[in-house]
Chain A
Amino acid sequence: MSPVTASSNARRISRGFAGAFLLAAIWELSVRGFNLPAYVLPSVSSIITGMFADAGKLADAARFTAAEALTGYLLGCVIGIAVAVGVSMVPRTRSAVMSVATAINSVPVVAYSPLVLLWFGIGMTSKIVMVAVAVSFTVFLSTIAGLDRIDRKSIDLVRSFGAGRMAVLWRLRLPTALPLIIAGMRVSTVRSVIVAIVTEMLGAYGGLGWVIYQAVLQIDFVQVWAAIIVASAISLCFFGVISFIEQRYIFWR
């Protein structure tokens, strides 16, 4: 990294934090200035105090949700990539699989939540299934797009050197597709946490969505906001990890 981009990066990051502090200050001041009741908008300081007061409960819920999101995410990535690779290996199945996938994908993903809850109960399984469904479509579509990018001539060249189908897939198709696959995986991170929380709100034994739902029923909006902040923190960490892997290992894009 050249010093110029490093310094502009540092400036961007410091400006970003400045913006966050500015927003927090405006928020705090307007809550105090207009004397807003906590159910309309709690002050930043009271949310932070609330987070420390409920730290144990929030940490448990966060672990619960993170476990669901992560399991579903990994499952979804494996399914999405496997189906896409399968379709590209057997091109004749393509139009059938794509039509069915498009049909299933045209339903807003949250509409499946009630069905999945009925099918898999209100334990962790239903959330894992929902996350896997949501993630696998995004990853499937980006993998297909990545595998399509390949140049026909390169395949012919590699094959002329005697490479078999698997070698073409492993040495040529997947490396070419990887940047787009990872991009799809990066977008899916935030989605996976959100879908887990949305499904938890409809019925669960624990997790951030459940905490939020309980807090709404008790009109405890400090706790709602505290859970919201924990949820975004999880999403951001998850997003950061995948972005880091992307920048570190996909050096050939």
Chain B
Amino acid sequence: MSLSGLSRASLSAAKAGRFVPILKSLIWIAAFLLLVELIVVALGIRPYYLPRPSAIAAAFLATPQAYLLSMWRTLLETVIGFVAGSLFGVAMGVLFHRWTLLRELFFPLFVVSQTIPVIAFGAVVVLWFGNTLLAKAVIAFYISFLPVTVNALLGFATVDPRQVALMRSFGAKEGQILRRLYLPAALPQIFVALKLASSLSLIGAIVGEWFGDTTGLGVLLLQAMYNENVVGIWVTIVASACLGIGLYGAVSKAERRIVFWGAEQ
């Protein structure tokens, strides 16, 4: 009884311990915003260069619908591209790990493909798929799969061959070895890449929208730029930061759940 009470107390303490750093950064950010507000007012900086943080918040509250709709659209593109990119990335990791010849032939090309500026490729993709949600998702996919492949390969390489031999000697099939041994061993590494891929696919989605669309954060950015609406640009910047943080947080949360034996924290 007292033991369970104790463990519960320590559990809630641990929980509070996790929130303290978050609270601390929130206070820092609030202090920073306040400082910016004061500096802008005190030095009389024109909104063209730096609008007051309160003006940015007001601009969002004036037309929240437009921003929320755009965020939703960009989120959809990002998530579709991210999920497809992650699955493809892991699948490629498995293929490249299983067949060395395939890896030696094509892995360098995969790496080279990432030096292609995504926006140039975007022009081609929009031509192929039309100006649709799918085209943006394809760009997000393209920009996000490689880190996953690289880290999956790294993770697979850490598996002890003796463990594979042991499982084989018990008659395990290839699929079972993959599911029971290789994937769990590589998961911590894969999640490191997934966190990176989540921010990359958001970049892909935003850049993809620059080729002309009606909604989305990338569209809002361009419209605000052409109208020299600096406050609008800032609202969109904050909105994309929120999306980025949200995605990253979601992947981190999934990581803590799935990789409970957690090598990375």
Contact = CB atoms under 8 A, between A and B. Distances in A.
A12 B222 contact: no
Interface string A122-149: 0000000000000000000000000000
Interface string B103-146: 01111110010111111110110011000000000000000000
A178 to B, nearest CB: 22
Given A107-B240, A228-B120, A232-B115, A117 B108 contact: no
Given A12-B104, A23-B109, A227 B221 contact: no
Nearest to B118: A194
B194 interface: no
- B-side interface mostly: helix
B228 A118 contact: yes
A91 interface: no
A198 B119 contact: yes
Contacts of A194: 115, 117-119
Nearest to A96: B28
A114 B224 contact: yes
Contact of A18 (B105, B107, B248): B105
B164 interface: no
Interface string B174-206: 000000000000000000000000010011001
B117 A198 contact: yes
Of the listed residues A107, A208, A224, the one surrounded by the most CB atoms of chain B closer than 10 A to its CB is: A107
Contact of A99 (B28, B221, B224, B228): B28
A95 B31 CA distance: 13
Nearest to A100: B32
A53 interface: no
B225 interface: yes
A236 interface: yes
Interface SS of A by simple majority: helix
Contacts of B202: 108
A112 B117 contact: no
Contacts of B123: 212, 216, 224
Contacts of A95: 24-25, 28
B127 A114 contact: no
Nearest to B238: A107
A104 to B, nearest CB: 9
A209 interface: yes
Contact of B25 (A12, A102, A198): A102
A245 interface: no
Contact of B117 (A100, A107, A111, A231): A231
Contact of A19 (B49, B108, B225): B108
Given A118-B228, A197-B119, A228-B121, 4 more contacts: A106-B241, A107-B240, A111-B221, A216-B123
13 contacts: A15-B101, A15-B105, A16-B105, A16-B108, A18-B105, A23-B109, A107-B240, A111-B240, A111-B241, A114-B222, A114-B225, A212-B123, A224-B120
Interface of A: 11-12, 15-16, 18-20, 22-23, 39-40, 95-96, 99-100, 102-103, 106-115, 117-119, 190, 193-194, 197-198, 201-202, 208-209, 212, 216, 221, 224-225, 227-228, 231-232, 235-236, 239
